[in-house]
Amino acid sequence: MRTSILLLFFVQCYSSLFSAHILGGDITYACLGINTDNTIDIEVTCRVFRDNFSSGALCDFQFDFGLYEEQADGDWHFVSIVGNETVPDVVALAGMELDSCLDSSLPAGECLELCEYVFEIENLPIIDFNYQIAYQRCCLANTIQNVMAPEDTGIALNSIITSQAQNTCNSSPIITNEPIKLFCAGGSIEYDMSAIDADGDSLVYTLCAPLEAGGPEGASIPGDPGSCNGIMPTPALCVPPFDPVVFASPFSSDFPIPSDPAISIGATTGIISGVINAIGQYMLAVCIDEYRDGVWIGSVRRQMAITSIACEGLQEVTLSSNAEGGDPIYQIEVNQEFTITNDSGDAFAGHIWALDLGSNTITEFTNSFSWTFEEAGIYQLVLTVSAGTSCEQVILIDIEVLDDKVNDIFDVFVPNAFSPNGDGKNDAFGVVALNQDFEEFSLQIWNRWGELIFETDNPGILWEGNTKGGTKHQQGVYVYTLNYKYPNRSSEEKRGNISLLK
């Protein structure tokens, strides 16, 4: 088994927003062919992004990648060092891509380096288990706000070559877009993280957790830099699996950025969308699962930092409505017309109102929107406005439609949406009933995969959108089943959908 390597430095300049160290990366591979002795040749590409403001976590001119083999019991066994021969090269790229709301005259300053390691592994035996190639290096940029102690947290980049991938000479998907971009706090984002696949396999995109490895030992404090808590962990000693980073509260792998609506990724498009509502730098990861004829064949994990800054191009939006409330939810009766208007004058050249009714979406393109709701529930109206440029802002408007039929002593009302965002309004899901004296009561909630995620026989216990382990579920549509009975009355059953909004 022989390896060769090429190291490239890509340099991008942008304003002085970061302080030091690693900002993301990924590992991909391409099959070069299967040999007659039942071995395979592959080319591995590792891309590591770092800011160039300090000397921390350099683009190393020599680096030891670890090659590991999975065992029958699921443990990983170190095989060898790969990719430790280097031939450096330097390529300069154009300036960092800016969000459409940013001022293009941002001053030039420090630079972003893309360290790209390319090497071959020849005569790798084809086995019945998986291989893993890993890069371990400390530390993350200390400006990252959603990870605990980022300055003491290293990164683990890896690629798993499954047994099926070995036998079919599969090549992994490759993300073509660069992982570092500036966005406007308060503005909507649409960030394409889609990949290309040389084999034409089906790709499914999800948000997942970045992986950590290493620590600060051997840097500015005493210790062994090659320990598993060192700045350059020794591959033979520090074997997979790698732990996910420890997120700072309230962040998680599916809520890595302060955003409303929460950022999400299209499962088939790979497009990240949402509205970042705070200034800062945040770490996230995108996992791309590869399927061939419905069978999982491998996965790629792109880890990256997203940065949001204040932008002067965003305008204040002032709304008025005939409904009560509005901070944060409007209230109106069933069959009463709801009207809302953007009173911001001539600041905006375009409006798009979108009301999701489940079966269809109602849209308007003027500065006002009107609709008469025929059913009680909580609805969300989305207003997208622009100031005559490509810069867009998204405003979420929650509407609670009330029905006086609930006043019937035996009537039970089930909302169709709730928003567990901690604002004190509609933070939990449960039934609405004046008469709580049930003889029988059972409420169950299921996710889209048919898994039971919440159940209670007490009408006073509400679902706050958490898993049984206490973490938050993603925004989406869930299914409920409600069975109840009042004394001296027949049993009732209700089924339907509920929307968890962020």
pTM of the model: 0.64
Mean of the per-residue pLDDT values of the chain: 81
All CATH 2.60.40.10 domain ranges of the chain, comma separated, are 319-402, 408-500
Percent of the chain, pLDDT > 70?
A: 80
In this predicted structure, the answer to whether residue 487 has a pLDDT above a threshold of 80 is: no
| Rounded average pLDDT over 239-254 | 94
In this predicted structure, the answer to whether residue 229 has a pLDDT above a threshold of 70 is: yes
For residue 188, list its beta bridge partners: 275
Please enumerate in sequence order all residues whose Cβ is within 8 A of that of 173, keeping only pairs 6 or more positions apart, or say none.
Answer: 28, 195, 196, 197, 201, 203, 288, 290, 300
Query: Which CATH fold topology does 319-402 show?
Result: Immunoglobulin-like (2.60.40)
Task: State the pLDDT at residue 372.
Answer: 94
Report which of residues 395 and 255 the model is more confident about. Answer: 255
Q: Residue 466 — very low, low, confident or very high, per pLDDT cuts 50/70/90?
A: confident
In this predicted structure, the answer to whether residue 470 has a pLDDT above a threshold of 80 is: no
In this predicted structure, the answer to whether residue 4 has a pLDDT above a threshold of 50 is: no
Report which of residues 406 and 368 the model is more confident about. Answer: 368
Question: Rounded CA gap, 320 and 370, in Å?
Answer: 12
Q: Which of 10, 5, 29, 355 is nearest to 172 (CA)?
A: 29
Report which of residues 253 and 178 the model is more confident about. Answer: 253
Report which of residues 441 and 418 the model is more confident about. Answer: 441
Tell me the per-residue pLDDT of 354-363, one tens digit each, with 9 for 90 and over.
Answer: 888 877 888 8
Task: State the pLDDT at residue 101.
Answer: 55
Task: State the pLDDT at residue 1.
Answer: 47
- Range with lowest mean pLDDT among 158-167, 305-314, 425-434: 305-314
Residue 152 exposure: Cα atoms within 13 Å on the Cβ side: 7
Percent of the chain, pLDDT > 90?
A: 36
Question: Rounded CA gap, 426 and 285, in Å?
Answer: 30
Task: State the pLDDT at residue 240.
Answer: 95
Task: State the pLDDT at residue 469.
Answer: 64
SS3 162: coil
Q: Residue 160 — very low, low, confident or very high, per pLDDT cuts 50/70/90?
A: very high
In this predicted structure, the answer to whether residue 91 has a pLDDT above a threshold of 60 is: no
Report which of residues 10 and 207 the model is more confident about. Answer: 207
User: What class, spelled out in words, does domain 408-500 have in CATH?
Assistant: mainly beta
In this predicted structure, the answer to whether residue 146 has a pLDDT above a threshold of 80 is: yes
Task: State the pLDDT at residue 182.
Answer: 72
Task: State the pLDDT at residue 86.
Answer: 54
Question: Rounded CA gap, 160 and 67, in Å?
Answer: 10
Question: Rounded CA gap, 431 and 412, in Å?
Answer: 7
Which one-letter amino acid corresponds to residue 230? Answer: G
In this predicted structure, the answer to whether residue 23 has a pLDDT above a threshold of 60 is: yes
Q: Residue 349 — very low, low, confident or very high, per pLDDT cuts 50/70/90?
A: low
Task: State the pLDDT at residue 300.
Answer: 93
Tell me the per-residue pLDDT of 179-220, one tens digit each, with 9 for 90 and over.
Answer: 656 777 877 787 889 999 989 999 999 999 999 999 999 877
Question: Rounded CA gap, 64 and 43, in Å?
Answer: 16
In this predicted structure, the answer to whether residue 77 has a pLDDT above a threshold of 50 is: yes
- Range with lowest mean pLDDT among 19-33, 104-118, 135-149: 104-118
In this predicted structure, the answer to whether residue 80 has a pLDDT above a threshold of 90 is: yes
Report which of residues 231 and 14 the model is more confident about. Answer: 231
DSSP 179-214: S--EEETTSEEEEE--EE-TT--EEEEEEE--B---
In this predicted structure, the answer to whether residue 134 has a pLDDT above a threshold of 90 is: yes
| Rounded average pLDDT over 119-142 | 93
Under the phi-then-psi rule, with left for phi > 0, alpha for psi from -120 to 50, and beta for the rest, what region is 265?
beta
